[in-house]
Chain A
Amino acid sequence: MGALSLRGLSKAFAGNAVLNGISLDAEPGEFIALVGPSGCGKSTLLRILAGLDHADAGEILVGGKDMSNVAAADRNIAMVFQSYALYPHLTASQNIAVPLAMKRLSRAQRLPLIGAWLPGQGEIRAGIARDVREMAGLLKIDHLLDRKPGQMSGGQRQRVALARAMVRHPSIFLMDEPLSNLDANLRVHARGEIVELHRRAGVPTLYVTHDQAEALSMADRVAVMIGGHLLQLATPETIYNDPTHIEVARFVGQPRINILQAIAENGRVDFEGMRLALLEKVANGPISLGIRPEFVKLSPSGRSGVAGRIERLEFLGSEIIAHCRLGVSGDSVIAKLAPQEAKDLIGGMPVGILLAPEQAMVFGPEGRRLRIAEVAGARQEPAYV
């Protein structure tokens, strides 16, 4: 039994389907990244999970128990918001203490003035203060405890928000783009920290992001959501190397995968000297051929490969991105090259574009991946020899 199971969750706003039958199982202690372009329904899914919104259909099971009719507060699900949502009028330590105070103190004990005189509350408050300090130590925010959110930087607020979510030891951890308000340097650093905190807490985590690099680098498994559909849920390696849908292939990877239009005929695809035999039956007609930029090589002499032209070179230090255009079809192709492969290249020059046929992926007209049985094609020698 998974720690968290979603079964066929659907949701529509005013007739527009936002979630279409999302099913997902998280193992205990697993870190799952929900990734997709904005508007794909990932934040809605998170809100439904937290109990802040209701699904039209489907069920949510936490540790085997149905949560559909359990109030948000009683689900023991913690959430970190994109805006951090810290209480602006409370200090950091008061912010972190809120979920504990709501849980451990009775209604009467929480009353201002009167509450402080009720028996038993002193010990509980001391316990809360101890837990807050412990959590602050873990997140290295001890020195911020007396500050209000307005006096903290974005990174500090984010840590306080994490502390507030973690302090009550939730059974599920939800994060809604917690890093998107940080500057780029801090973001990369914070990624590592969140993974480390997750490993220590061992709580199943659902992490929503629109940044595919964040998803690939942090998660045990990545769920790619597009247009309200969960297209693929797999390890980052599988998502990148073996996408099952053209939208997944397009969304993951930077620079984006090259998609070329080709024609399938009698279960075979011929594209510029590359011949692929398909395992699955497919109607004759247009299909898409995907090939990642790192499997595209350029031949400056133009003796081998498909004739094309370099339109623009982008220097990124450790690698060079070449934007090319195929001579015949006019398709644009991006190649990711090592600096020594690119030293003879200049923008505007004609080149031979070599596509590695064994790395090509074929997608059917509706976007589904089609497996390849056999690869044949003119052997292409590496460009830089």
Chain B
Amino acid sequence: MTGIHAGRIVRFALLSLGALLILAPYIFMISTAGKTQSDIFTAALSLIPQHVYFAENFAKALDKVPMATLLWNGVAVCGLIFFFQVAVAIPCAYAMAKLKFRAARAMMVLVMLGLLVPIHATALPLYVAFDKLSLLNSYVALVAPFTISVFAIFMFLQFFRAMPDDLIHAARLDGMSELGIVARVIVPNAWPAVTAFAIFSVVAHWNDLYWPLIVISKQAYATPPLGLMYFRAAEAGDDYGALMAATLIITLPLVVAFLLAQKRFVEGITMTGLKG
């Protein structure tokens, strides 16, 4: 009895320690967002601000950074990317998982190869292409390179393979076209995979700095991380309190979204077998 109890305490302590290590920078960021300039630059490292300065820092951040534009750009870009990724990947993965056609094997190889090529390898040719098309500084430049996600295809493929063939046979006998099967049978049953993919996609593109930095040079199209970078370089200087407050604001939507949909996310990830 006591053995079990002790084991539990040890396990809990280890997990807490791990969580604390991972959360430490974020906690420190929250703390800094509430400090005055003098608090931040004292030699002593204290977590609790001496003068609670949250309101002032947030006011400064909201005043100096076009926060609404940044957040809107973030939402629009992530939303468009996610929408196109799912719209392309679901029919593609369905065809590869459940239809028999000659190019299936070749497509599988291409998907696997696609998984191996990072964006950094194709960034330069893509940049040149967007430049020639005069599409730099636009949503198209931010969204287009990511609309076909081989990762999404691969993930949905694994998920659809586990769906029973009989279900699709039944749908065919009931008179559905292949497109009807995708819309009426596959999509309503694919939400665990879609939500799991949503985390990967939205987190990656919300936090992405690399690609926006290449194709965007105007504030109006800046995504949140890029906007913060402008802020730091141009206006904040060494005003870390305001900078951390701005950072807090742009990370908040993801944190809130995750907390709200936590259960579904965990379900989705365990159901698709994508862990760690």
Contacts and interface: CB of A to CB of B under 8 A. Distances in A.
28 contacts: A50-B169, A51-B173, A52-B172, A52-B173, A72-B172, A72-B173, A73-B172, A73-B173, A73-B176, A79-B173, A81-B166, A81-B170, A83-B164, A83-B167, A85-B166, A85-B170, A86-B170, A87-B170, A87-B184, A87-B185, A87-B189, A88-B189, A89-B188, A99-B175, A102-B174, A102-B175, A102-B180, A103-B175
Interface of A: 47, 50-52, 72-73, 77-79, 81-83, 85-89, 98-99, 102-103, 164
A164 B166 CA distance: 14
Contacts of B174: 73, 98-99, 102, 164
Interface of B: 164, 166-167, 169-176, 180, 184-185, 188-189
A73 B184 CA distance: 16
Contact of B167 (A50, A72, A87): A87
Question: A-side binding surface: helix, strand, loop or mixed?
Answer: mixed
B189 A81 contact: no
Contacts of B171: 87, 98
Contact of B166 (A51, A82, A89): A82
A169 to B, nearest CB: 14
A257 B122 CA distance: 71
Contact of B169 (A81, A89, A102): A81
A13 B267 CA distance: 38
Given A50-B169, A72-B172, 9 more contacts: A47-B169, A50-B173, A73-B172, A85-B167, A85-B170, A88-B189, A98-B174, A164-B170, A164-B174
A77 B169 CA distance: 12
Nearest to A87: B185
Given A83-B164, A88-B189, A52 B176 contact: no
Given A88-B189, A89-B189, A102 B166 contact: no
B175 A52 contact: no
A103 B164 CA distance: 24
A51 B188 CA distance: 25
A93 to B, nearest CB: 15
A77 B171 CA distance: 13
Given A47-B169, A50-B169, A85-B167, A102 B185 contact: no
- Residue among A79, A85, A98 with max Cβ neighbours from chain B (10 Å): A85
A79 B188 contact: no
Nearest to B187: A89
B169 A52 contact: yes
B192 to A, nearest CB: 12
8 tightest Cβ-Cβ pairs between the two chains A and B: A102-B175, A85-B170, A85-B166, A73-B175, A89-B188, A81-B166, A99-B174, A72-B172
B183 to A, nearest CB: 9
A41 to B, nearest CB: 17
A52 B170 CA distance: 9
B170 A79 contact: yes
A359 B267 CA distance: 63
Nearest to B177: A73
Nearest to B100: A53
Nearest to A78: B173
Nearest to A102: B175
A78 B173 CA distance: 7
Contacts of B185: 87
Nearest to A47: B169
A240 B193 CA distance: 51
B171 to A, nearest CB: 8
A199 B166 CA distance: 26
B176 A85 contact: no
A236 B175 CA distance: 35
A86 B164 CA distance: 10
A87 B176 CA distance: 13
Contacts of B170: 79, 81, 85-87, 164
Nearest to B183: A112
B247 to A, nearest CB: 40
A86 B167 CA distance: 7
A88 B170 CA distance: 12
Nearest to B169: A52
Contact of A102 (B167, B176, B189): B176
A87 B163 CA distance: 11
Max chain B C-beta neighbours (<10 A), residue from A50, A73, A78:
A73
Contacts of A164: 170, 174
A354 to B, nearest CB: 50
A382 to B, nearest CB: 52
Contacts of B172: 51-52, 72-73
B61 to A, nearest CB: 41
A16 to B, nearest CB: 17
A173 to B, nearest CB: 11
Given A98-B174, A99-B174, A102-B174, A85 B169 contact: yes
A164 to B, nearest CB: 8
Contacts of B176: 73, 102
Nearest to A77: B173
B173 A83 contact: no
A52 B175 CA distance: 12
Contacts of A88: 189
Contacts of A82: 166
Nearest to B188: A89
A145 to B, nearest CB: 18
A24 B164 CA distance: 30
A83 B163 CA distance: 12
Contacts of A81: 166, 169-170
A52 B173 CA distance: 8
B189 A83 contact: no
